[in-house]
Amino acid sequence: MSNKYVERGLTSPVNLTWEVSLACNLRCTTCLSSSGEPAHGELTTAEALDLVEQVHQAGVFQINFGGGEPFMRPDFEQILAACHERGIMTCISTNGTLIDAERVERLGRPKGLVAIQVSMDGALPETCDAIRGKGVFKRAVEAIKLLSKSSIPTSINTVLTRQSAAEIPAMYQLARAMGVSLRVSRFRPSGRGADNWEGLRPTPAQLLAFSDWLAQSGDVRTGDSFFSLTSQERQGLGLNLCGAAKLTCCVGPTGNMYPCAFLQTERFKAGSLRELTFQEIWDDSAIYDSFRSLRIHSCEECQRFDQCHGGCPAVAWHLKNDLNGGDPECLERCVTSIADLQGSAAV
């Protein structure tokens, strides 16, 4: 990935994360947006369809739908259809509990335009259900089995936590056994993830072990969320810098735009689609401009700077209240942290 084009600024995002609703029938402890009840003033169907047209006009290639649980929105399939009519590719992040055979059949009709990620947070029911709720593992597996029989590209999406870290290789095997792929996402201290951060965050040793495992697992996707941990073996498979406001951005349930899904706060609001157009916000937002020119100077001396450019600013913000502070969970800091602990133990 050449950064010069990205840093120069693109005419529109390559992909867009759209959290269509905060409504969710689950209360996962890792949820980045504290989903449950719908947000007050979520976009109407007409507003959502207008946004699809704006995104199409802007030339965005793909919309990644999340929430909340997207299928909680009664008009969600209508929104999807509007995307597909315009040739916009879509990816749906779902908990799987609202997937049935009829829905799979409908979703699979536009060939090659939709992919689905079903969330599961452990290879064992007890691990997954402790995070996502009783019986959710079984329901997610049922959804994945239905999807795997269809033409829809399907993946298990799992968040790496202290509890699930040891089960990631087993999840990989589980995914393979069901004929789907595995995607591992980074746990970030946002939403309920912030409330449960200390209990769920992976240890530096787990992050290091995961980085090593990932290096040997080229077919595992990460949505570029682990570029701060990327080893040499995976260089070239994805980004080596934060893509927020450069390659991607986020639209929240009420039409506010943000740099990414993990920074959906007033401080990082780039604009409202009820006041400005999608293109106007992308082109002119001061927040987006600040992300495009963000340089993590504190990391520039690091030997791995070219591989991660300071890592995830959202994690730095949530943990250190400093966008420029560098990713506290980067590979280099994990190594240093482990070495320091070992040093302490030896004294």
Partner 1 sequence: MATAGIKLHPACRVRREGFGLLFYDARGPRLLFAETGDLIPADFFGTLRGRDEFPEGTSEQQKTVLRKFVGRLLEKGFLREQ
Binding site for partner 1 (CB under 8 A): 1-2, 5, 8, 10-11, 14-15, 59, 61-62, 87, 89, 111-112, 115, 247
Give how far Cα 338 sits from Cα of 131, 160, 216, 301, 319, Å. Answer: 27, 19, 22, 20, 19
Shorter beta-carbon distance to partner 1: residue 14 or 215: 14
Integer CA distances (angstroms), 128 to 35, 118, 138, 164, 252, in order: 18, 12, 10, 8, 27
- Closest alpha carbon to 18 in 72, 58, 55: 55
What's the token pair of residue 114? 């939709």
Identify which of residues 155 and 256 has a Cβ nearer to partner 1 in the complex. 155
H or E stretch at 331:
helix 331-346
- Closer residue to partner 1 in complex, CB, 126/219: 219
End-to-end CA distance of the chain: 44
Closest distance of CB 242 from partner 1, Å: 15
Distance CA 75, CA 289 (A): 33
Nearer to partner 1, 8 or 40 (CB): 8
Instruction: Find the shortest distance in angstroms from Cβ 85 to partner 1.
Output: 15
Question: Shortest gap between Cβ of 184 and partner 1 (angstroms)?
Answer: 16
To partner 1, the closest distance from the beta carbon of 208 in angstroms equals 26
Q: Provide, rounded to whole angstroms, the least separation between the CB of residue 246 and partner 1.
A: 12
**Given the complex with partner 1, which of 38 and 110 has the nearer CB atom?**
110
Q: Which is nearer to partner 1, 59 or 179 (CB)?
A: 59
Rounded least distance, CB 93 to partner 1, Å: 15
Strand partners, 272: 256
Nearer to partner 1, 110 or 133 (CB): 110
Residue 103 burial class via C-beta count within 10 angstroms: exposed 0-12, middle 13-18, buried 19 and up: middle
**What CA–CA distances, in Å, run from 72 to 26, 67, 96, 292, 310?**
11, 9, 11, 34, 37
3-state secondary structure of 25: coil
Distance of closest approach, residue 320 Cβ to partner 1, in angstroms: 30
Rounded distance between C-alpha atoms, residue 120 and residue 154, angstroms? 13
- Classify residue 218 by its DSSP letter: T
257 neighbors 43 (Cβ within 8 angstroms): no
The nearest distance, CB 152 to partner 1, in angstroms, is 13
Residue placing its CB nearer to partner 1 in the complex, 104 or 115: 115
CB of 112 to partner 1, least distance (A): 5
> Is residue 37 a contact partner of residue 27, using CB atoms and an 8 Å limit?
no
Nearer to partner 1, 100 or 219 (CB): 219
Q: Contact, 325 vs 337, CB < 8 A?
A: no
Neighbours of 41 (CB within 10 A): 10
